[in-house]
Amino acid sequence: MTDLMPERYRVVHNQSMARYLETNRQSISWRSVDFVGLHRAGHEIPVSVSFSEFEDEGELRFVGTIRDIEERWVRERERQEWLEFFQRIYQLTTNRELTFEEKLDHLLAAGSEHLNLPYGFLTRIETTNGTEQGTQTITRAYGDHDASEVGTSCSLSESYCRQTIINDGFLTVPDAVASGWAEDPAYKRFDLGSYIGASVEVHDELYGTLCFASHTPCRDTFSETEESFVQLVAKWAGYEMERQRL
């Protein structure tokens, strides 16, 4: 058993087993114990171990079952990271000392970092004769993207955001080329390999979109939590602009 654990745990394990053999009392539950195991390749992995004992011809023997719980451990770590992130977002949005613009800039920066998408921006969309005809203008931006600097405008037909407002106000493109965007005017203009965006509404009217993106595809899909975050910030932005009558 000790061969399967890092050396720093072996002394404690041996002491615990010696104490059990002497007192017949378990210091921890043997039903399921989570700890760090040693992979045969030499790196450490999270594992769950359960123990049992039996007598064999008068000798006490122990049986252990080890399960790799790396997937569960990763999910739990991600859940904790998102919890801490949302707490950070709450503190930011409720900070009375910051203006709306300052809060939004911080949110774009925090979202870009946490989503691992280096560009974040808020757009103003003005439509004429339907949702694909009009103009998109960048009003706030995070990240160094030449085509997405504040004040930059383009035809709505050349933007990813035209599909966002058509697609019930939300769009995810984890891999633009794999999703068939390679010949789209938006891909040719902005060269964005990944995109996630949500519509921003003010007084139930379309104001624009809030989006995050990167040049290269960063993932196979966006998680429900990532999608919820983008939608939440877009709704918050719309509410704040309503409140301030912008």
pLDDT of residue 47: 83
Contact at 8 Å (CB) between 198 and 161?
no
pLDDT of residue 3: 66
Block means of pLDDT (10 residues each) for the chain, length 246 residues? 72 76 73 76 81 78 79 84 91 94 96 95 86 86 88 93 92 94 93 96 94 90 93 96 79
pLDDT of residue 209: 97
pLDDT of residue 41: 79
pLDDT of residue 190: 93
pLDDT of residue 71: 82
pLDDT of residue 132: 64
pLDDT of residue 1: 65
With b for 16 or more beta-carbon neighbours within 10 A and e for fewer, the 91-108 pattern comes to eebeeeeeebeebbbbbb
pLDDT of residue 29: 65
- The CA R_g of the chain, rounded to the nearest whole Å, is 26
